[in-house]
């Protein structure tokens, strides 16, 4: 049951974003677009409430409950960036906007470290939700499955940190470089 709610919330998240951007660019209704985009965090709240109520009603925690916590944490941490990414593509397609050029060098390295900070925020939120659910249910044996997610959260944070360290030591080079003296066509 909870897995279905997670899937529905993920679909709802993207439908809210798509509808908000469609309202903004296709219907030329920016206020409606903002209202629809504001539904994305509401969907996260619905998922949090559904997860908590499912556990409180007597269900034993499963990996799906932990997935819900992780989804909410990363949705909060990366949601704005996902919306900005989609907005730039909608603006380019329907309003003559432009997509920012890919970052290289130290600018990309700074972005990687910003991602580490976002991932840390997502991990902290997910861990807080996992702890909160464990506390709220009040039965450590029924919520023991949630404890497995802490290791996964640390692995995700570790991989993101290794990625940033790699680009700190070896900054990303531009793929559009030409040999010296080459003529542009």
pLDDT in tens, 56-86: 999 999 999 999 999 999 999 999 999 999 9
Query: How would residue 177 be classed by pLDDT, with cut points 50, 70 and 90?
Result: low
Weakest-pLDDT range from 97-101, 113-117, 144-148: 97-101
For 89, what's the count of Cα atoms within 13 Å in the CB-facing half-sphere? 7
Predicted confidence at residue 174, as pLDDT, reads: 82
Quote the CA–CA distance of 80 and 135 in Å, as a whole number. 29
C-alpha triplet 68, 72, 78: angle, nearest 5°: 140
What does the DSSP assignment read for 9-52?
Answer: HHHHHHHHHHHHHHHHHTS--HHHHHHHHTHHHHHHHHHHHHHH
- Which of 136, 8, 155, 135 lies closest to 68, judged by CA? 8
Q: Where are the domains of the chain?
A: 2-169
Helix 39-56 / helix 30-37 crossing angle, nearest 10 deg:
20
pLDDT above 90 (res 43): yes
172: helix, coil or strand?
strand
pLDDT of residue 2: 86
């Amino acid at each position: 049951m909870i897995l279905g709610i997670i899937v529905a919330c993920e679909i709802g998240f993207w439908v809210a974003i798509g509808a908000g951007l469609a309202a903004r660019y296709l219907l030329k209704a920016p206020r409606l677009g903002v209202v629809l985009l504001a539904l994305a965090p509401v969907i996260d709240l619905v998922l949090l409430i559904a997860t908590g109520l499912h556990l409180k009603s007597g269900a034993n925690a499963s990996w799906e409950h932990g997935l819900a916590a992780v989804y909410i944490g990363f949705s909060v941490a990366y949601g704005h960036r996902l919306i900005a990414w989609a907005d730039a593509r909608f603006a380019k397609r329907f309003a003559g906007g432009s997509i920012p050029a890919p970052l290289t060098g130290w600018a990309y390295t700074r972005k990687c470290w910003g991602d580490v900070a976002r991932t840390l925020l997502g991990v902290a939120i997910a861990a807080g939700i996992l702890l909160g659910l464990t506390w709220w249910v009040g039965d450590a044996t029924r919520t023991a499955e949630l404890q497995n997610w802490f290791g996964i959260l640390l692995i995700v944070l570790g991989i993101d940190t290794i990625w940033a360290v790699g680009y700190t030591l070896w900054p990303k080079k531009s793929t559009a470089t030409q040999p010296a003296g080459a003529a542009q066509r």
